[in-house]
Structure 1
């Protein structure tokens, strides 16, 4: 009887465990990307360096869900970003700087998540752009956040179900300032529509970093010399970004076109950066899936800045990816940028000649031209 009782108990526990496993899951995942990069000019000299995150990103994360019944799930995501060549944390040294949120999802009502997360334009508009081919294909300096430079703290996001190809997202980031609800706040909305091979998307972001030290719900953007205050000086002000994109897939070809306007408005006035700087960006790209294992892509980006400073940036990029497996890819990317006009010094107090900057790669040229060549590998797990 004792042996039978133990066997019955064991079978019961296995049944419960099997049911629990079917109702909930936790997944460990990640991406590792590293490359050898050459720049013909960084500062005043050529540069050969190891450089990560040139096709995908470097991250690991944990995500999970639990079925609650009635079509509802509890969901969460914790995601860490790191520098593969130094082992240091990215996103300002945060443990889970890329994503840290929890929420509820319903098949019929949509999803609500709270925490640190990506804004709606990154979720719905960015996938229809050439940023998926790497930062060499995106906006110089990421002035419009097409390359996901900033995340949003203290945020609430709603994602709708898909209605006949239409989906939308809404987000609000709480500033958390006593006595001033609007201080350091952020708001964003985006919508996408897909019909057959055609996809369209539109969205906007408004973010305030209005404390004396530039603190806000949205991270700072200081990637290269294209954007104001790209050095260690904090940006105190607001960013208003609108973005539209279209993508068409026909057979092995994928074509993209997009436009964005980004307004950087300073609240702390510097000698040169003392009024709103506008960045207007137009871009197009084409990818050809040569075989299931080989893809090639080309892209062109034009950006014009205007305000106290004025410059134009013309960038062309080409790349190829060879898929060794579903999880491992080797790639090569080449980019060329030509700048004309002026930009700001690192501290925003003077006007200097604009330097060539290949997309959102972190190093700008000391001359109007820059060439970048990259050879790398990406592994997903």
Structure 2
């Protein structure tokens, strides 16, 4: 009888210990992507250019993703992603974790709440159903004026991503400016929603960011060509507002999508030529076809018109072919053409200059109305 009682107690302790261990289960995953290419530009800053360049069809980064089971369907989660340039071995933006750095809580029934440096909701829900998902910066908006290629990161932010309800999902975000005595100074906020049914996906989103103190705020904007009002090292004292809608339909091996965006850059000071709101209206369409399990091809067209203190029009066309050597390694080739008309701004916004051809958000704009780019590269995911 005594032995039976002790045996029961011992079994109970084992069961309790196993239950506690199950709730405390955790995992950490190492992953990433490396993308490198050789590119030819017929005109960059007045000269032709042949160069090795990084992250043409996908990001180059490594990441750690972790999850701890807290019980009751709730998990503690974190993401640390470090982007870098494989061509030079250098960190992006001089940050250890420039790509993403978040910590939060997640549950299938509750959604996910994260805090830190992260993508805004439009990047999460809209970008994946646009041409940018086929060929990255080659297929995006000239100068990435509407953040279609994720040139904006939100620092000091909190984001909530809902569970998926019968194909519907939404995300909300707020980025704190962190400016003493000014709770709305330098802040950012955004929202996006998507709906998927069968082969159809619809998405819409909004992003607002304000850099009104010292030219900094919750949102980072990195740009190097002359499509947007201020670029390079010139800080922007002002705000950006972006509205996007997109639709995608998949039928068999064919994927088709269309999109529209409206982006407004509002200066809070007089830069000279850039002295009032500059508006970009963007329309795009893309097709991708999976010819074989290994080979796919894609076509893309983007129309961009800016108006305000300056007025310019950009017509961009591009083609992509991707061949998968394995599930993780692929070869790709891109060719793209851009033609511009009208005027844009000098780097510091002080004067108007002729708009130059600009293929997506690659390198610098052309010194002439047109630009041609050809790229051959490799992507490896791990």
Where do 1:357-368 residues align within 5 Å? 357-368=358-369
Equivalent residue number for residue 252 of structure 1: 253
Q: Distance in 2 between matches of 1:256 and 1:361?
A: 22
Equivalent residue number for residue 147 of structure 2: 145
Determine whether 1:203 maps to 2:205. Answer: yes
Equivalent residue number for residue 166 of structure 1: 168
Secondary structure at the counterpart of residue 291 of structure 1: coil
Equivalent residue number for residue 319 of structure 1: 320
Determine whether 1:215 maps to 2:185. Answer: no
Q: Distance in 2 between matches of 1:196 and 1:326?
A: 25
Secondary structure at the counterpart of residue 161 of structure 1: coil
Q: Distance in 2 between matches of 1:310 and 1:166?
A: 38
Q: Is the 8 A contact 1:327 1:379 kept in 2?
A: yes
Equivalent residue number for residue 64 of structure 2: 62
Match of 1:41 among 17, 40, 43: 43
Equivalent residue number for residue 339 of structure 1: 340
Q: How far did residue 30 of structure 1 move?
A: 0.9
Q: Is the 8 A contact 1:33 1:56 kept in 2?
A: yes
Change over 3 Å in CA distance of 1:192–1:45 after alignment to 2: same
Equivalent residue number for residue 137 of structure 2: 135
Q: Distance in 1 between matches of 2:351 and 2:163?
A: 49
Q: How far did residue 231 of structure 1 move?
A: 2.5
Secondary structure at the counterpart of residue 124 of structure 2: helix
Secondary structure at the counterpart of residue 219 of structure 2: coil
Secondary structure at the counterpart of residue 123 of structure 2: helix
Equivalent residue number for residue 158 of structure 2: 156
Range 313-322 or range 360-369, more displaced:
360-369
Range 221-230 or range 137-146, more displaced:
221-230
Task: Note the alpha carbon deviations across 1:80-139, whole angstroms, 9 max, x for none.
Answer: 01111111111x211001100100011111111011100000000111101112211001
Determine whether 1:32 maps to 2:31. Answer: no
Q: Distance in 1 between matches of 2:88 and 2:22?
A: 40
Where do 1:249-328 residues align within 5 Å? 249-328=250-329
Unpaired runs of at least 5, structure 2? 1-13
Determine whether 1:241 maps to 2:229. Answer: no
| TM-score (normalised: structure 2) | 0.93
Q: How far did residue 205 of structure 1 move?
A: 0.2
Unpaired runs of at least 5, structure 1? 1-11
| TM-score (normalised: structure 1) | 0.94
Change over 3 Å in CA distance of 1:247–1:46 after alignment to 2: same
Equivalent residue number for residue 190 of structure 1: 192
Q: How far did residue 177 of structure 1 move?
A: 1.3
Equivalent residue number for residue 378 of structure 1: 379
Q: How far did residue 22 of structure 1 move?
A: 8.7
Q: How far did residue 19 of structure 1 move?
A: 5.1
Q: Distance in 2 between matches of 1:93 and 1:353?
A: 32
State the aligned residue count: 366
CA RMSD of aligned residues (A): 1.6
Q: Is the 8 A contact 1:143 1:221 kept in 2?
A: no
Structure 1 residue runs of 4 or more that deviate by more than 4 Å after TM superposition: 18-22
Q: Is the 8 A contact 1:142 1:223 kept in 2?
A: no
Where do 1:52-131 residues align within 5 Å? 52-90=54-92, 92-131=93-132
Task: Note the alpha carbon deviations across 1:159-190, whole angstroms, 9 max, x for none.
Answer: 10100000000000111112111100101000
Secondary structure at the counterpart of residue 276 of structure 2: coil
Q: Distance in 1 between matches of 2:91 and 2:22?
A: 34
Q: How far did residue 360 of structure 1 move?
A: 1.3
